[in-house]
Amino acid sequence: MAVCGVCFRHCDIPEGKTGFCGGRIARNGRVEAYNYGRITSLALDPIEKKPLARFFPGSMILSAGSFGCNLRCPFCQNHDISWSEQAFRFAETAETASPEELVDLALKTRDKGNIGIAFTYNEPLIGYEFVRDTARLANEAGLRNVMVTNGTAELSVLKELESYIDAMNIDLKGFTDRYYSRVLGGDRSQVMAFITEAVKSCHVELTTLIVPGENDSETEIRELSEWVSGLKEPDGDDVPLHITRFFPRFHMTDRGATDVKTVYRLADTARERLKYVYTGNC
């Protein structure tokens, strides 16, 4: 058995088996990234799709994803590579790319407006070793590195990455422990600690998906934005917040899409304390 140190779960993993996330495996008495370099998704995306509104707007970025996730969001839009049965089948079929190959591809797409690499689609922190190794090479090549993450990781993982990551979009999915633990299977305190440290080293934008009946009260968004208002970018500026619209999918089809008026109303609530608030999926 070997203990994984990536997130709050601290999975005790038998030799040759994977942990809860499906992306880490015990080998020779230690835990390593089972999904290292195994690419399930690759696309050249607008930077705004991450979403990042205040980081090289109008540019493109090469976006790469693997498989596995340490949360269990029932509405996951990337469930086919995150934590569904299909996702774990990718462990056997995903194509492998080395850090050098991914950086080389990013350099070849510069003429299409590409500024670097985004680690996204599934949860990149569970395979942080590949992110670290690739981002280091990308940094040396003059490329920008972006990470789209749920922020569910120990600060020791962030420490491995912070020298190479230029921007992050981090999900702050709600602002109650009940929602994080019961609905998402996560740990809000770990996410808040991760965000608090991440804003000290790179540009950070946050995203809150508004799910009807779960995290859609003005009280919750007011408390969330109050907390975010206490965070500052390395240059002293405010941290941007994206308020986005939920659509029924995967295991959460028992309710309709979030009313657009609700998204706009909650964005206005967040603007009581925050300078940069954006709406999405509307």
- pLDDT for 144 equals 98
- pLDDT for 82 equals 87
- pLDDT for 81 equals 87
For 118-132, what is the mean pLDDT? 98
pTM of the model: 0.97
| Cα(105)–Cα(37) distance, integer angstroms | 14
For 78-103, what is the mean pLDDT? 84
- pLDDT for 266 equals 98
In sequence order, the 6+-apart residues with CB closer than 8 A to the CB of 242 are 51, 53, 169, 205, 206, 207, 208, 277, 278, 279, 280
**Which tens digit of pLDDT belongs to each residue from 57-88?**
999 999 999 999 999 999 999 998 888 777 67
| Cα(269)–Cα(222) distance, integer angstroms | 6
- pLDDT for 90 equals 67
How large a percentage of the chain has pLDDT more than 90? 93
Does the pLDDT of residue 104 top 70, yes or no?
yes
**Which tens digit of pLDDT belongs to each residue from 171-191?**
999 999 999 999 999 999 999
10 Å CB burial of residue 151 (0-12, 13-18, 19+) is buried
**Which tens digit of pLDDT belongs to each residue from 16-73?**
999 999 999 999 999 999 999 999 999 999 999 999 999 999 999 999 999 999 999 9
Write down the mean pLDDT value for the chain: 96
**Which tens digit of pLDDT belongs to each residue from 192-208?**
999 999 999 999 999 99
CATH superfamily of 2-280: Aldolase class I (3.20.20.70)
What phi and psi, each to the nearest 5 degrees, are found at residue 181? -80, -45
